[in-house]
Structure 1
């Protein structure tokens, strides 16, 4: 996993000095040398790999990646630059989601008409520490065999590293189990959302005639989720993760959305699960994604467990048992709902065709369901957009209105 490829970042003389300017130090003492990019300094986190071929800016601004160092298996990261439209985090004041990034090849100059900035400059501004010139195939194989390791990624232009101190820091980091990372990414106050999806030549639109009101609890929500709720005819009120059931009900919503987010669902669930249980008892149509799915599973009596390598990418096949169809999905999670722990009144609706893990549930007899993956798919395919129609159809059914075809 030593440095390979071309000089990284924007310094054409980086390879003139053979000293590495970045290190990835794993908790087991493994040291991976490379060349630094992005922010100078060091970050500790869990190393995962993402197999998506597009959408690195959306991935790097997904709050669900808080506490993680992302290894991109696709080698050409940065070739389309970055822009101001493809950011997924709502809370721009929060600490960035991903703590670090591991790349195979140099970041090239952007070649895309939408680019407004070089990725290396953007990483610096976002505080993301990066290392390039790494054999990411070997690192991915290591993760698949041994699981997602804790590590420190460090960048020093002078190449001055205290390797033993970095090893000790990586070894001492407790890991994501038991860690509540939601307070670092949730919005600190209530706000409304009406922005709709992006269209070529038009940009983003606005929902000016909403028919339904949805309250979204923000555990680290992505913008495109809110946009698709707006597309579906909803006025969206976003509440912080610490919102109580009384806070939610005070807004008199037609439905409740439980967002994605980072960290251990059992840890965040200490305060979120009682709220979710109360809302389920109220009979409100409820839809959860990712962390919201996991905590709904806890609220309904199930358990969650840490995964070996997690699911991170935009190419994961999932079967929907309610339709018999297979959809290609976008995923980002390191915990999963244990299907064996689900009570008899909870039905499994979706399953991963990669490893058979649970990817969706619904509560029998009530308008409550959730999925593990990201149906807003930003980045990724749009196979799962139908779930937003499914959610709004539950609202329509409760109101005695005709439903529309899922699409």
Structure 2
């Protein structure tokens, strides 16, 4: 069921992510499924935060390695044994890795202080991608030198394991990189005679494990993002009608400061009678009918909220008091027509509701609360008058 605003208002939709088919699980696991903006943002933020921690460790380690290279270059025996060219090349590699780490840390700090979302996402992704690329290149470069001296390829393995453990990367992109780099390093190590058969098998198993871990981690984070997105959405929306709720109303107070707004309260008349006559499920249907009727053709400066029970609020900074009243009256006619078509009457009375509207310039959030109280009082006054008129008609008919 939809309320006319694009929100799914079925109660079942409020829970966690829906179960996936095997095909969908594979699509999410390998990263073929297109991500929502919320999912991309969630994963990017996770990569940025955890990447900044890894970068801090890397920066400290590379700083130590640069100091060690400086000491080696000042030792004639070491220079004679290793060669000044080797020391210089490794110092350059350490410096590049350290600068890459510092750039990721700097971008993390910049993003936290920048409110421009497109700029944030672009900068974040650029920082993460450059760090991952340089980590891989650094690991390969250092390990090729180590293999030539029969020291193993621990630098490469450390970098690849760190990337898979820290970052969430689309598997369909990263798995070919894993496979290609492992194949290249295994070939180089075998050519140098640095691997036994057992070591080769173990490294192949490690590569397969990292590929699997990459898929599992991507699936876990995407599904976690979906759950968070639903929770965030429904924490500010009423689960029955899909409208904004009182929490959203409180959050929106600040957006009206400095504007002249019209605040309306709507309360369904004799709602208890309808619940008693038709049951709570039909009562929920009535609330959904009202929500959908009042949500038609809302402009971007007008919002409708479910306050709880059978009470709703409309706030507009564009329509003014009379314009908002006219909009509500049009919605009332639509609501009553649809209710009559569904045979929703109790004690011979058609569905209806009472309205209270207040308008003023909002100088602070306290003014919004004041307008809400004024609209509430006006609504109860109209409800009293409507009941009095109805009772008067019933007395006349009875006489």
TM range (shorter): under 0.3
- What TM-score comes out, normalization by structure 2 length? 0.22
Q: By percentage of residues, which structure has more strand?
A: 1
Larger RCO, structures 1/2 (Cα 8 Å, 6+ apart): 2
Q: By percentage of residues, which structure has more helix?
A: 2
